[in-house]
Amino acid sequence: MQNDLHEANRLSWNAATAAHNSHKGDQGAFLRNGGSTLYPEEIELLGDLAGLDLLHLQCNSGQDSLSLVRLGAKVTGVDISDEAIAFATRLSSESGIAATFERADLFHWFEGARARGAVFDRVFASYGTICWLSDLGLWARGIASVLKPGGRFALIEFHPFAMVFDETWTPRYDYAPREPVCEAGVGDYVAASGAGLAPNGYEQGVVDFRNPHPSFEFNWGIADVVQALIDAGLKIEHFREYPYANGWVGFEGMRDSGGGRMLPPETMPGIPLMYAIAATKPETTAPVRARSEPIIRPYRAEDRDRLAAIWLSASRIGHPFLGEERLLTQLEMVRDTYLPMADNWVAEVDGRPAGFIGLIDSFVGGLFVDPEIHGAGIGRGLIEHAAARLGHLDVSVYADNASAVEFYRRRGFVETGRQETDDEGLPFAVIHMSRAS
């Protein structure tokens, strides 16, 4: 995941969201009076929502989330933008429609949700979401991890084939480029689309919006999306392409064929402008397995950022009691001091680091596995590899990290001592454990 680019996008979305809402009039009254911002395509894709727990990914200002509540769902909306979530929360109270809105980077949110065991019957994302996400594998595995068995994920998105063209329909961009595309910032596409994206009636609002913050897009191809969902263990049950885009005037000369279904100019051949996918989580899911067996190899300098990212996501789950601020401070020390200093060994899966062990003589300074591939035997493999090289091993584990304590017990470690504070003197008990040669 490219956190820095996600953060840049947060600033860009904050600015754009305020401009977008300036065109939409009194949205509280619109929803209160029974208005809905949903299109028939997503309503059909989601099916009956009565009484279901629904997670709305990248919900922006919550108009669609609140419209989904109207269809009977209990909705939690997540978005990275402060402005969008503040607006959504206000809109919920102004419209009298209850929903929960949480501001977070989606990937951090998935980690937190997994840690507290939050699960949903439906997960939904629509219209301009995945192009903001730097890692589709993480996205799909995050969705699978918060779906109840038998639950369904529904996605309706703009078609990546259309993203090959610039606004004048000139082919200009690669299909599904591997690198993020830097743009001048999220634009005021609501102003460009008029009533199509302002069902309450378009108001002039902010004129000539210029976003001061650049943005970074990841234009995933259809195969990227489909394969990520399959790899996450979801079963794709529905896939459809549409020759129109709902509400969005992204290109010159688009015309409304009725109900906000925007078609290319008549002179153009028909092309797909949207697609929809529905995928379910099987009732009994085999754990998501790495596609190849882990290879254990010595650390290389270029592993540093990836290992630091694994350290942070695993620590957020194993050591949440330390708090986000302290974890971020420790992250710098891990990346800049501990990793270059320790005797590190990396478990690589599918050509990518998936976990590592850092040793100082026979002391296990750290053993961290990407939470996305937990259960694939990577931690066990790293410990056994270290034991085969060194024989005797020692480790110190936070007492509150019960699953780590249990992991070491199962690997033959026994408790040799305990202290009531950690190495920094913080009031978190630490258990010392050893395993004989």
Binding site for ligand SAM (CB under 6 A): 6, 9, 13, 58-60, 64, 79-81, 84, 105-106, 126-129, 132-133
Q: Cβ of residue 16: shortest distance to ligand SAM, in angstroms?
A: 8
For ligand SAM, the closer CB: 259 or 412: 259
Chain residue whose CB lies nearest ligand SAM:
128
Distance CA 364, CA 195 (A): 61
Q: Cβ of residue 332: shortest distance to ligand SAM, in angstroms?
A: 22
Q: Are 40 and 116 in contact (CB under 8 A)?
A: no
Q: Enumerate the β-bridge partners of residue 329.
A: none
Contacts (Cβ under 8 Å, ≥6 apart) of 258: none
Q: Cβ of residue 24: shortest distance to ligand SAM, in angstroms?
A: 11
Q: Are 269 and 243 in contact (CB under 8 A)?
A: no
Distance CA 132, CA 110 (A): 16
Helix (H/G/I), strand (E/B), else coil: 371: helix
| Backbone dihedral region for residue 35 (phi beyond 0: left; psi -120 to 50: alpha; all else: beta) | beta
For ligand SAM, the closer CB: 133 or 143: 133
For ligand SAM, the closer CB: 79 or 370: 79
Q: Enumerate the β-bridge partners of residue 434.
A: 394, 414
Q: Cβ of residue 77: shortest distance to ligand SAM, in angstroms?
A: 8
For ligand SAM, the closer CB: 126 or 344: 126
- Helices and strands in the chain, H and E counts: 14, 19
Is residue 269 classed exposed, middle or buried when 0-12, 13-18 and 19+ CB atoms within 10 A define those classes? exposed
For ligand SAM, the closer CB: 6 or 435: 6
Q: Are 102 and 76 in contact (CB under 8 A)?
A: yes
For ligand SAM, the closer CB: 64 or 348: 64
CA 168, distance to chain mean position in Å, is: 32
Q: Cβ of residue 43: shortest distance to ligand SAM, in angstroms?
A: 14
Q: Cβ of residue 318: shortest distance to ligand SAM, in angstroms?
A: 23
Q: Cβ of residue 380: shortest distance to ligand SAM, in angstroms?
A: 32
For ligand SAM, the closer CB: 84 or 359: 84
Q: Are 203 and 25 in contact (CB under 8 A)?
A: yes
For ligand SAM, the closer CB: 13 or 101: 13
16-31 in b/e form (b: 16+ CB < 10 A) is: bbbbbbbbbbebbebb
SS percent in the chain: helix, strand, coil, step 5:
40, 25, 35
Joined tokens for residue 7 = 């953060």
| DSSP letter, residue 199 | T
For ligand SAM, the closer CB: 217 or 348: 217
Distance CA 195, CA 188 (A): 13
For residue 41, CA distances in Å to 38, 47, 150, 198, 276 come to 8, 10, 22, 18, 8
Q: Cβ of residue 103: shortest distance to ligand SAM, in angstroms?
A: 9
Q: Cβ of residue 9: shortest distance to ligand SAM, in angstroms?
A: 5
Q: Cβ of residue 412: shortest distance to ligand SAM, in angstroms?
A: 41
Helix (H) / strand (E) element for 308: namely helix 304-318
For ligand SAM, the closer CB: 105 or 111: 105
For ligand SAM, the closer CB: 130 or 349: 130
Q: Cβ of residue 21: shortest distance to ligand SAM, in angstroms?
A: 10
Distance CA 233, CA 145 (A): 10
Closest CA to 157 of 106, 215, 225: 225
